[in-house]
């Protein structure tokens, strides 16, 4: 099966299957507050997403890295573009950005982990 063109990073951040890079890894979102649901396999190439228990524990480190990057980036933007912002306001803003991206980080880290360690 020929893989579609495009950048590897684009396939990861659009949550495509690591084998065919066409199928979606996660179900479509119906409720914004629920944890994303990962499909058991790809509907295009039948690649199995659901691994053995504990496989995605390593993805937590990637999710942590995303959160740290987003937190530091938000802090630097606040620090340089809004220098008069109070420490409490800056802290709340950084925590808010990290919280806002937490569900997306969950999905990105799992997909990236599958790309790093294919089955």
Cβ neighbours around 69 below 10 Å, total: 12
| Residues 92-118, mean pLDDT to the nearest whole number | 93
**Predicted local distance difference test score (pLDDT) of residue 1:** 56
Cα–Cα distance measured from residue 2 to residue 12, given in angstroms and rounded to the nearest whole number? 17
Of 65, 52, 44, nearest in space to 112 by CA: 65
**Predicted local distance difference test score (pLDDT) of residue 62:** 95
**Whole-prediction pTM value?**
0.85
């Amino acid at each position: 099966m020929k893989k579609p063109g495009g950048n590897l990073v684009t396939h990861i951040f659009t949550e495509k299957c690591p084998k065919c890079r066409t199928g979606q890894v996660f179900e479509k979102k119906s409720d914004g507050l629920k944890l994303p649901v990962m499909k058991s396999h790809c509907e295009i190439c039948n690649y199995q997403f659901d691994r053995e228990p504990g496989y995605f524990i390593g993805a937590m480190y990637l999710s942590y890295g995303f959160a740290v990057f987003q937190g530091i980036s938000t802090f630097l933007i606040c620090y340089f573009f809004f220098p008069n912002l109070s420490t409490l306001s800056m802290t709340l803003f950084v925590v808010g950005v990290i919280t806002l991206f937490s569900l997306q980080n969950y999905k990105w880290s799992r997909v990236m982990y599958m790309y790093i360690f294919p089955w």
